[in-house]
């Protein structure tokens, strides 16, 4: 039912807007937490991005199915909890902490949202690997910024690099939307 109504470009668009909302939530939440003296953790990345994407996806899904608000909550919990756990067991400077947190978060979101989808979709189990892959590839897209930061530029090229980095951040939402839209098209009632 869901996949027969939701168009691929519609899903990509809402996921992108959710990603952008997550970026704004991340900026806001990190500012508040920094002001409170909580600056050495990354859990707010998972919470912000999960909230932004989960909210916009849920708003679209509820138009075409009886999708409960749990979709939104599962996105926050699924992405936030792995970040929180890894904040306590890994140092902030560990290079692979962010991609590992996102990959585990994608897996957790996929498993939690599967619980909602399996009531309507016969092959809902396929949602789990696509969600994991989507979030992981979105994280790697944004991690390309680490490469651009190594390029030494001056003058107006600083602006060009800033715009490139902004595009890389925003591309994460498109990547996540595209991969999970593919999954939606493959789900069967």
Long-range CB pairs of 86-90 (<8 Å, 24+ gap) are 86/42, 87/41, 87/42, 87/43
Counted residue by residue, the chain has a size of 189
61 — pLDDT class (breaks 50, 70, 90) = very high
Q: What is the mean pLDDT of residues 58-83?
A: 95
Q: How many CB atoms lie within 10 A of CB 182?
A: 15
- For the record, the structure tokens of 176 come out as 């996540």
Q: What is the pLDDT of residue 105?
A: 98
Q: What is the pLDDT of residue 135?
A: 98
d(C-alpha 45, C-alpha 81), whole Å:
11
pTM for this structure?
0.91
Q: What is the mean pLDDT of residues 10-24?
A: 97
Query: Is residue 29 within a helix (H) or strand (E), and if so which, with residue range?
Result: helix 8-35
Percentage of the residues of the chain whose pLDDT score is greater than 90? 67
d(C-alpha 46, C-alpha 162), whole Å:
23
Q: What is the pLDDT of residue 2?
A: 60
189 — pLDDT class (breaks 50, 70, 90) = low
């Amino acid at each position: 039912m869901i996949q027969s109504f939701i168009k691929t470009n519609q899903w990509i668009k809402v996921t992108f807007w959710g990603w952008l909302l997550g970026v704004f939530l991340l900026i806001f939440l990190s500012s508040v937490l920094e002001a409170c003296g909580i600056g050495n953790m990354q859990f707010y990345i998972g919470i912000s991005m999960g909230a932004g994407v989960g909210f916009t996806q849920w708003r679209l899904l509820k138009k075409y199915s009886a999708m409960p608000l749990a979709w939104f909550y599962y996105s926050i919990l699924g992405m936030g909890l792995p970040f929180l756990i890894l904040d306590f067991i890994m140092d902030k400077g560990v290079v692979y902490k962010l991609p590992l947190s996102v990959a585990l978060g994608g897996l957790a979101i996929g498993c939690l949202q599967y619980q909602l989808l399996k009531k309507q979709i016969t092959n809902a189990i396929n949602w789990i690997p696509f969600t994991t892959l989507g979030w992981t590839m979105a994280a790697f897209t944004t991690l390309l910024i680490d490469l651009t930061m190594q390029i030494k530029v001056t003058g107006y090229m600083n602006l060009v690099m800033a715009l490139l980095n902004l595009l890389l951040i925003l591309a994460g939402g498109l990547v996540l939307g595209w991969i999970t839209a593919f999954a939606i098209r493959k789900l069967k009632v």
